[in-house]
Amino acid sequence: MNCIVTAGPTFEPLDEVRRLTNFSTGRLGTELASFLMARGHKVTLLIGEAATYPGERKATSVKIFSTTADLRAKLKSFSGKKVDAIFHAAAVSDFAFGQIFSETKTNEFSALKASKKISTRKGTLLVELLPTPKIIAELRGWFPQTRIVGWKFEADGKRTDALRAAEKQLTDCATDFCVANGPAYGKGFNLVTRTSRKHFATMANLFTALARLP
């Protein structure tokens, strides 16, 4: 297979020294890329510059992304090329910063101008959070013939909630598979399709199943 694996977090800048990001080390995607490479597949690893996992990045090609827009552009650049499978495990930031307001002496808030570094002397700030575009929802349009595997990491709720969220991703984003995991799901992973659910106790068992996808 010719594969693309995304891993690690995107970030969104508040200014040139501060950012909003997700808790993601990039371990899962990095190890999946290594697993696929060991089985003879061609792998492009797209990994966030803020990924902290120290493991070796074994891939045919490794490309670093920063913001959500940067990851989106890098994925879209493969549109029209032969890609057999995309494993989209990156932790894409759900929000970007919008307008920033600082408190005035009359306890009101006024908009701040763009700055390389917002001074701490500005005191209390109000920051608008804007939802980032869902990259996974665009993949099918760019890769109509590609097997697309998404991830659904759910922190709240129960295992049934995580599985329902995975099934909803399949419907909403026209993906082929979704891996459910996170605190809501509990230990292990579940590979969800429109007609089945299969639990895997370990990451190695999940990777074996992903490498054998039709």
Q: Classify strands 125-131 and 11-13 as parallel, antiparallel or unpaired.
A: unpaired
Provide Rg for the chain, Cα atoms: 19
Judgement on whether residues 117 and 193 belong to the same structural domain of the protein: no
pLDDT grade for 112, boundaries at 50, 70 and 90: confident
Model's pTM, two decimal places?
Answer: 0.93
Judgement on whether residues 77 and 160 belong to the same structural domain of the protein: yes
Q: 173 — alpha (psi -120 to 50), left (phi > 0) or beta?
A: alpha
Judgement on whether residues 142 and 110 belong to the same structural domain of the protein: no
Q: What's the structural domain count of the chain?
A: 2
Judgement on whether residues 108 and 202 belong to the same structural domain of the protein: no
Judgement on whether residues 170 and 87 belong to the same structural domain of the protein: yes
Judgement on whether residues 155 and 61 belong to the same structural domain of the protein: yes
Identity (one letter) of the amino acid at 106? T
Judgement on whether residues 80 and 176 belong to the same structural domain of the protein: yes
Mean pLDDT of the chain: 94
Judgement on whether residues 163 and 112 belong to the same structural domain of the protein: no
For 72-94, write each residue's pLDDT tens digit. 999 999 999 999 999 999 999 99
For 162-207, write each residue's pLDDT tens digit. 999 999 999 999 999 999 999 999 999 999 999 999 999 999 999 9
pLDDT above 80 for 54: yes
Domain that holds residue 186: 2-94+133-211
Judgement on whether residues 54 and 65 belong to the same structural domain of the protein: yes
* Rounded Cα gap, residues 33 and 59, in angstroms: 6
Judgement on whether residues 76 and 157 belong to the same structural domain of the protein: yes
Q: Which two tokens stand for residue 205?
A: 């068992």
Judgement on whether residues 54 and 151 belong to the same structural domain of the protein: yes
Judgement on whether residues 84 and 152 belong to the same structural domain of the protein: yes
